Amino acid sequence: MSWVDRTRRARRQGRSSANGNGNGNAAGSNGNGNGSSGNGSSGNGSNGNGAVESNAAQGCAETISRPVPELELEEFDPSNPLASNRDRSNGNGSFANGSRRLLDGHAGPPRRPDDRLVDSAPAVPGATTAHHHLTLPFPSPRPFRTSDVHEADVVAVLSAEGRFVFVSASAERLLGYDVRDIVGRDAFRLFDAESIAGVRSLFEDLVARRQLSVSMDLSTTRADGRVLDLELVAANHLGEPIGGVVVTLRDVTKRKEMEARANDLDRRHNALIESLVDGLIMVDAEGRIVRVNESFEVMFRSPRIRILGRNFEEVIERSIRRGVEIFDESGEMLDAASHPVLVSLRRGRRTAGDVVGYRFGSAPARWVRVSAQPIFGSDGTVTGAVGTFSDITGARHAAYALRQEEEFLRVLLDTLDEGIVACDAQGRMTIFNPAARRLHGLADSVEPIGRVPVSRMLLRPDGSPIDPEENPLLLAMSGERLHNVEIILAPSNGEQRKVSVNGQALVDEHGWKLGAVVAIHDVTEQKLNEERLADLAHHDPLTGLANRTLLAERMREAVESLNGVPGGAADGPGSVLESDSTRTHPEHPGVAVYLLDLDNFKDINDALGHDVGDDLLVAVARRLAALVRPSDTVARLGGDEFVVVCEIESGEEEMLRISQRITGALARPYRIDGRTLVAEASVGGVFVDDPATDPSKLLSLADDAMYGVKWSRRRQRRSMTD
């Protein structure tokens, strides 16, 4: 059952079940009455009581509950637009119950005795006084029909005070609320507190005719919780037969959603077009420019504000007159009509990849690749065209530079001291520059280009042969990146060379392997220099013994070794130190540091010269090195001072024995440059068995011990002299 049918049924049941009494006095055409629906009294030109038949009420109900609103206007009192005096059922000028009712069935407040819509016409003698009905200013009354008002619209009439006079039945369908009791209520109560002031101000302007009509967008919530977007249009009809402000509400939710989607899509399109690196232009069927993006503006120095709406061909012609040159890839000048975008527009065919050059005055030429596509309408006709401009100036310059680079590379490869070898994807060599030929010892008659690389002349740094799969060029081909890989080139007819190899695979932009390239750098002299520098950094240049730097490192390692139990190291050949292969657990492990200097070295150096002195120091160094084990350290501090660091396994007694043996070994004569020289040494030693000892203090302790020995020997010599 529809809402209309339910409404009609409810009203019929209400009139048949309700009881009421009504009294009315008629005076002329006015009357008073009280009652409820279904019963009432009305004035009929004289005092009396009367009851309206139920069929009259039924007829009224049929009239006032139409589903699509039709306004058959009755008399309206300008001071009370809710008044309605025409009785649709019996034609006596009033409703059966003496109250006013709108066409949709809403009852308004009762009429007062002085509620006169218009002055009554003079009474006709012998006739019953009747109400005069207002008529529309048309040849015949024209009610609202469904063809006049959209069936989804809600039509309401408001009084000058903003109260509802009429609300169409479609309000319930639109909003989902029961609106039967809304007539007579304040319309402004439907607005929230923030909006009511502005709405009331617009309404007052409308009533005062400062505006003839107003419109606004509203948002509300249906009874089921769904949010609606509404469009409100209000017009002042207070002075017309309607006698009120007519308000039309239309549901524009779908339209708003479509507009939002269209706006969002338009924003996306705008963002996409403006983000393009390529310039873009769009023209209509007449060739007028309707759109360009920022890249186009920058590319052609044409702000859109200056060219939008202008004919593209005219813009080009004007630019040519101002000195802009436009030419094709071969340099042939182009006229405006030959531009690819205009050609595509005229022919209705796509053009792609046309290269066009532009020159602005004396500036360098700018090259663009133009693609154009016609735009077709729904009927198949061309409605416009769109063109894109890719700046290829850099690419053309790069191509020219590449040709120059290739020539430069050829000359460079021929003059490089570094060997360059490359191969293709099949492993056949494609580049073998002169430096590479020289490092490999190839004769001029040997041509390596087109051959597969071999490894028979390649050695590892330790001198062992390299396996064929370890060939640097093949490793680079497999995808391995080579960085400073050291190998030895050992040609059969030349000297060996140490080289450093760097290389990698060659791939195209799609990742397909093109081959590999290696660079061979001769590091033979570099390695020799590095070895010399490393030796000088840790050894005395005269004697070859450890210097202070290496000595400090060896003393630190020796002290740190006290944290564990050191194993006995086998003595070297000719060592004077005790060696016991069965001693695996030291009785009292420690470290002995001996500091010694030659007692009469200054006299020998002054008397025989520095060369003899240097030879003597070398002889002392050799004798000390022969005394100790390979794991021990002999160092020269400078001048005639030497240091010996030994691992001790039997405590201080062993340390003293070693000191005595060093003293005895150095006291033996030396044969230097045909002379026999004697250079005794004062030896001071210190024993350490605590791993927490500071290694930097060992030399100071040994120095104190040495000077103690030297002082004792001097006293002994004096006593012997005396």
Whether the full predicted model's pTM is greater than 0.95, yes or no, is no
Q: What are 514-532's pLDDT values in tens digits?
A: 999 999 999 888 888 888 8
Residues of each domain in the chain carrying CATH 3.30.450.20: 276-385, 416-527
Question: Quick one: pLDDT band at residue 195, thresholds 50, 70, 90?
Answer: confident
**Model pLDDT, residue 75:** 37
Q: For residue 487, what are the CA distances in angstroms to 459, 463, 523, 529, 567? A: 6, 9, 10, 17, 38
- Answer with the residue of higher pLDDT: 489 or 115: 489
- Mark out the alpha helices in 652-697 (DSSP H runs): 652-667
Check whether 171 has a pLDDT greater than 50: yes
- pLDDT of residue 35 exceeding 50: no
pLDDT of residue 263: 92
What rounded mean pLDDT belongs to the chain? 76
What is the greatest pairwise CA distance in the chain? 186
When pLDDT is cut at 50, 70 and 90, the band that residue 20 belongs to is: very low
CA distance 376 to 386: 11
Topology of domain 539-721 in CATH is Alpha-Beta Plaits (3.30.70)
pLDDT at 696 over 80: yes
Indicate if the pLDDT at residue 24 is higher than 50. Answer: no
Query: SS3 for 692?
Result: coil
Which one has a higher pLDDT value, 378 or 140?
A: 378
pLDDT at 399: 86
Reported as type and span, the H/E element at residue 292 is strand 289-292
Distance between CA atoms of residues 361 and 325, nearest Å: 8
C-alpha triplet 242, 214, 137: angle, nearest 5°: 25
- Is 60 exceeded by the pLDDT of residue 52? no
Q: Which band of pLDDT confidence, cut at 50, 70 and 90, is reported for residue 340?
A: very high
Q: Are 422 and 516 in contact (CB under 8 A)?
A: yes
Q: How big is the chain by its Cα radius of gyration, in Å?
A: 59
Q: At residue 605, does pLDDT exceed 50?
A: yes
- pLDDT of 584 higher than 80: no
pLDDT at 219: 86
Among candidate residues 530, 475, 543, the one with its CA nearest the CA of residue 498: 530
At 91, is the pLDDT very low, low, confident or very high (cuts 50, 70, 90)? very low
Residues of the chain with CATH 3.30.70.270: 539-721
Reply yes or no on whether the pLDDT at 48 is more than 70.
Answer: no
More confident residue, 404 or 370: 370
pLDDT digits (tens, 9 = 90+) for 617-662: 999 999 999 988 888 999 999 889 999 999 888 888 888 899 889 9
Using a 10 angstrom Cβ sphere, with 0-12 exposed, 13-18 middle and 19 or more buried, the burial of residue 472 is buried
pLDDT of residue 617: 92
H helical segments located in 208-332: 253-275, 294-300, 304-307, 312-321
> What is the model's pLDDT at position 281?
95
Residue closest to 388 by CA, chosen among 310, 272, 297, 278: 278
Task: Provide the residue type at 560 as one letter.
Answer: E
SS3 231: strand
Task: Identify the band that residue 604 occupies on the pLDDT scale cut at 50, 70 and 90.
Answer: confident
Q: What is the pLDDT of residue 317?
A: 93
Per-residue pLDDT, 5: 52
The pLDDT value recorded for residue 721 is: 63
pLDDT confidence bin for 355, thresholds 50/70/90: very high
Query: What pLDDT digit, counting tens, does each position of 457-473 carry?
Result: 898 888 888 888 888 99
Q: Which CATH number fits domain 276-385: 1.10.10.10, 1.10.8.60, 3.40.50.300, 3.30.450.20?
A: 3.30.450.20
What is the rounded CA–CA span in Å between residue 46 and residue 450?
Answer: 132
**637: which 2 tokens?**
């501090």
Q: Which is higher by pLDDT, 424 or 532?
A: 424
Residue 108 has what DSSP assignment?
A: -
Averaged pLDDT, 206-230: 88
pLDDT digits (tens, 9 = 90+) for 100-127: 333 333 333 443 433 332 333 333 333 3
pLDDT single digits (tens) 259-301: 999 999 989 988 999 999 999 999 999 999 999 999 999 999 8
Q: For the segment 129-154, what is each residue's pLDDT rounded down to a tens digit? A: 333 333 333 344 444 443 344 556 89
Which of 662, 600, 590 minimizes the C-alpha distance to 626?
A: 662
Q: Is the pLDDT of residue 570 over 50?
A: no
CATH H-level, domain 416-527: superfamily: PAS domain (3.30.450.20)
Could you tell me what percent of the chain has a pLDDT over 90? 26
